[in-house]
Structure 1
Amino acid sequence: MIEAMDAIAREQEELAALIERFSGEDGVHATAVPSLHLIRSSAVTEPIYTVHQPALCIVAQGAKVVMLAQESFRYGPADYLVVSVDLPVSGQIVQASPDRPYLCFRLDFDPNEVVAIVEESALTPNQTGKAGRGLFVSRTNSALLGAVIRLMRLLESPEDVPVLAPLISREILYRILKGEQGDVLAQIATAGGASGRIADVIERIRRHYEQPLRIEELASLANMSASSLHRHFKEVTAMSPLQYQKQLRLQEARRLLLAEASDAADVGFRVGYESPSQFSRECARLFGLPPMTDMKRLRKTAGQRTI
């Protein structure tokens, strides 16, 4: 047991060194592997709001807290975080310094890759009939870290990336599926399963977030009753469909206000609000300040975006 823990500690140190080497400065850094990003921060941050797409995140140094609705998930070098569906979250780096910066490996993935791995392997997801949360934190292990380090080492030989990166990425997903919470991720690959059907509903809401929410249509898409839809949707996202849509609208409005010199009321209308006062009130409820005041604060911290 002690030897295994020592081995994991050495792998975490190697991963941290590789992330530091290929990032070099604070920020989110693209790599030669299209789905791989490296994140570095030499200071703690304010909460950053985003819609987190399906991804694996491994913190090699430092710590982060991710908020999903009212739920808090803290993870550091002993853990990894998996997001299996698009989720509106806030993330805050809570442990970082110039001497020991926050260092994170983020591998984005397509849920269809999970479906393919489950179908091609002998994995048999546990069919509970209950949808699993679309975000979880689990303990790292040597098999997963080994595959992650091999993917990082490919950055030293970019000519090998087109052939080897897809293979190692699949291995990483396979290691997660074999992990202690692999069933939660595998549920999206279960034919007819609640998680997969809720993922379809999430996609519909994301595509048409500015339109009025029609629960009966969403329930029909998921082949569920309205009450079942609400229950399973909350199991996956920790919020109701209406709350999910509201967070999408507010985050998109925030993005537009930051990117354009637009009037707050106009942006509110564009994302689906019929009342400027309602838009301002809900923006203040989520972000703590009304839209234009929030923009002044956000522009001061725009360089901190490290989700």
Structure 2
Amino acid sequence: MNDQLLELRSLAAGAGNRRTETGIPRVAMVQGEIPEHMLAAVYEPMVNLILQGSKTMTVGDRTLRYDPATYFVMSIELPAVGSVHPAASGDPYLALSLTLDPAVLSTLLTDLPTPAGGDESENDNNAGFSVAAVTPKLMDAWLRMLRLMDSPEEIAALAPVYEREILYRVLQGPHGWMLREIAAPDTAMARVSLAIQWIRQDFARPIRVETLARKAAMSVSAFHRHFKAVTTLSPLQYQKRVRLLQARTLMVASGRSVTSAAFEVGYESATQFSRDYARVFGLPPARDSARILGETKGRGRSPDR
């Protein structure tokens, strides 16, 4: 497996320190130092394979670290903060990602037998994201996928096959239940995912947990319990994280004032906004945005890159 990892590192060596498209649908790569503010975002569902260095990811009150030859599964859209670190040798952080396509997952699952044994998703301590060790078969599927960068004429025919294999290998692993849950329409995780979409579509408006629970066809207590189990956040905490991330983007990328950004994302009090912001990002909003802009200017990049 070490030879596979070395070849993957070589193939991904052209990545930049931002999301770099490969030309293969839903497959991207990233390398090097990534500013902290770029790692604070609402992440879309994905499988992320670490090739070099390490990364920490915090969602709510849960922090995970993943290293080379491990992969990270995020089955739903989650607001997270993270940091990346070079290898002990000094070589830069390097990773690959595959964005999950529900249609591909659903089609794949119809071709697979139902797994034997109990349903792991019944344990409310299982969140919608986790880390696992990569297997040689999963690494091999990733390797064949990334080799397509050198044969773009083969992408249309072979990338869908390799994508299904990567997903199949993840489904066979310890966190495959998450992919099964999110692809089935009536599971608790799928209903939480729908609630997340409703929150994100109109995050600036007040939400009522009772309304979300009714839309998700759950009791309020069951909805709150499942939402917290999957995301490690309550529905209102989730909305707040989305608001704060959007406000940060408005201040850094669009030059909004603290008060303007606060009101635009739905806060009624700039003072409360500043308190919540500092609690999540470690600095008051004006100081934090000035720090980000200063760092970005020093790197010679626009703040949204």
Common fold: TM-score over 0.5? yes
Partners of 1:124 and 1:301 in 2: how far apart?
A: 49
Q: 1:301 to 1:176 in 2, by over 3 A?
A: farther
2:22, 2:28 within 8 Å by CA — same for their partners in 1? yes
Equivalent in the alignment of 1:284: 278
Equivalent in the alignment of 2:30: 39
Equivalent in the alignment of 1:18: 11
How far is the alpha carbon of 1:98 from its aligned partner? Answer: 8.5
Aligned counterparts, 1:75-94, within 5 A: 75-94=66-85
Residue type of the partner of 1:18? Answer: L
2:85, 2:92 within 8 Å by CA — same for their partners in 1? no
Residue type of the partner of 2:289? Answer: M
Equivalent in the alignment of 2:269: 275
Partners of 1:76 and 1:257 in 2: how far apart?
A: 33
Residue from 223, 226, 230 that aligns with 2:224: 230
Partners of 1:256 and 1:97 in 2: how far apart?
A: 36
How far is the alpha carbon of 1:255 from its aligned partner? Answer: 0.9
Aligned counterparts, 1:120-131, within 5 A: 120-124=111-115, 126-127=118-119, 128-130=121-123
Counting matched residue pairs gives 297
1:192-247, CA deviations, whole angstroms, 9 ceiling, x for partnerless residues?
Answer: 21111111111111111111011111001111111111100011101100000000
Percent identical: 36
How far is the alpha carbon of 1:96 from its aligned partner? Answer: 4.1
The secondary structure found in structure 2 opposite 1:281 is: helix
* CA-atom RMSD in angstroms: 2.2
Equivalent in the alignment of 1:71: 62
Residue type of the partner of 2:85? Answer: V
Equivalent in the alignment of 1:109: 100
Residue type of the partner of 1:14? Answer: E
Partners of 2:46 and 2:285 in 1: how far apart?
A: 29
The secondary structure found in structure 2 opposite 1:137 is: strand
Aligned counterparts, 1:1-307, within 5 A: 8-20=1-13, 22-23=14-15, 25-41=16-32, 43=33, 46=36, 48-96=39-87, 99-124=90-115, 126-127=118-119, 128-130=121-123, 132-302=126-296
Highest relative contact order (Cα 8 Å, sep 6+), 1 or 2? Answer: 1
Partners of 1:231 and 1:49 in 2: how far apart?
A: 25
Q: 1:162 to 1:306 in 2, by over 3 A?
A: farther
How far is the alpha carbon of 1:147 from its aligned partner? Answer: 0.7
Partners of 1:79 and 1:46 in 2: how far apart?
A: 21
Partners of 2:63 and 2:100 in 1: how far apart?
A: 23
Q: Could you state the TM-score of these two structures normalised by the residue count of structure 2? A: 0.91
How far is the alpha carbon of 1:95 from its aligned partner? Answer: 3.0
Q: 1:53 to 1:235 in 2, by over 3 A?
A: same
Q: 1:224 to 1:57 in 2, by over 3 A?
A: same
Equivalent in the alignment of 1:5: none
Q: 1:174 to 1:215 in 2, by over 3 A?
A: same
1:27, 1:306 within 8 Å by CA — same for their partners in 2? no
Runs of 5+ in structure 2 lacking a partner?
A: none
Partners of 2:216 and 2:127 in 1: how far apart?
A: 17
Partners of 2:27 and 2:53 in 1: how far apart?
A: 19
Runs of 5+ in structure 1 lacking a partner?
A: 1-7
Q: Could you state the TM-score of these two structures normalised by the residue count of structure 1? A: 0.90
Q: 1:141 to 1:306 in 2, by over 3 A?
A: farther
Equivalent in the alignment of 1:4: none
Residue type of the partner of 1:114? Answer: L
Moved more, 98-107 or 213-222: 98-107
How far is the alpha carbon of 1:111 from its aligned partner? Answer: 2.8
Residue type of the partner of 2:5? Answer: Q
